[in-house]
Amino acid sequence: QVQLVESGGGVVQPGGSLRLSCAASGFTFSSYGMHWVRQAPGKGLEWVAFIRYDGSNKYYADSVKGRFTISRDNSKNTLYLQMNSLRAEDTAVYYCAKDRKIGGDQPRLLDYWGQGTLVTVSS
Amino acid sequence: AIQLTQSPSSLSASVGDRVTITCRASQGISSALAWYQQKPGKAPKLLIYDASSLESGVPSRFSGSGSGTDFTLTISSLQPEDFATYYCQQFNSYPRLTFGGGTKVEIK
């Protein structure tokens, strides 16, 4: 069965950096695009970033563009999110999610999600 | 950027009720819309894609309809396990996805 397990969350000061990881299993990781989605405490869902199955294309929400970098290591079945210049408004649970379409090169549907990892930006 | 407006933001209903949630897009998105269910402390779950296609394993009491700018999610007979927050999401305006603000379905 598909499993996505995020790690790397924690408390960081404003302006700091953090790298999230998402370990994938139960499917052919290298064949699917992957997403990061976040949810601030008590708020709705916000799409953050998408990476194509082979890592060749990456897309970002305007709110994180230039500060966050999505990447993947298909040999390790792992997705990453490098977060720099963190702000208080980046505080959220961060979910990794699998795109539904095999070989898709654009973000579309998120059919499996991890349990999320909490990032708190506070001094 | 395309905005999605869900209504109502919350509702109270009883087991067995028919529940309808609306999602309106700020511009036409064809049928590029999905619905997700999220229970407290859990990750969202995909229910409906392409506006009206039921994801595998999702009970048939869930249905979706609409195209263009106006969409609905209907639960034909609300069950205890359906109390949750529901989100719509568009994928017409890629490469950036957007979610609606959510509709919380509570027990009456």
Q: Say which of B38, B97, B101 has its CB closest to residue A47.
A: B97
- What is the reported pLDDT for B85? 98
User: How confident is the model over B42-91, as pLDDT tens digits?
Assistant: 999 999 999 999 999 999 999 999 999 999 999 999 999 999 999 999 99
Show the tokens assigned to B8.
């109502």
Q: Say which of B34, B43, B96 has its CB closest to residue A113.
A: B43
The fraction of chain B above a pLDDT of 70, given in percent, is 100
Which residues fall within 8 angstroms of residue B19, CB to CB, at 6 or more apart?
B11, B13, B74, B75, B78, B82, B105
Q: Say which of B44, B87, B101 has its CB closest to residue A113.
A: B44
pLDDT tens, position by position, for chain A (123 residues)? 999 999 999 999 999 999 999 999 999 999 999 999 999 999 999 999 999 999 999 999 999 999 999 999 999 999 999 999 999 999 999 999 999 999 988 899 999 999 999 999 999
Which residues fall within 8 angstroms of residue A64, CB to CB, at 6 or more apart?
A48, A49, A83, A90
Answer yes or no: do B97 and A107 touch at CB < 8 A.
yes
Read off the DSSP letter of residue B55. Answer: P
Answer yes or no: do B95 and A114 touch at CB < 8 A.
no
User: How confident is the model over A10-27, as pLDDT tens digits?
Assistant: 999 999 999 999 999 999
d(C-alpha B95, C-alpha A81), whole Å: 18
- Which residues of B are less than 8 Å from A47 in CB distance? 89, 96-99
User: How confident is the model over A87-98, as pLDDT tens digits?
Assistant: 999 999 999 999
Place of tokens 């695009």: A33
Under 8 Å between Cβ of B6 and B71: no
d(C-alpha A30, C-alpha A72), whole Å: 9
The fraction of chain A above a pLDDT of 70, given in percent, is 100
In angstroms, what separates the C-alpha of A114 from chain B's closest C-alpha? 7
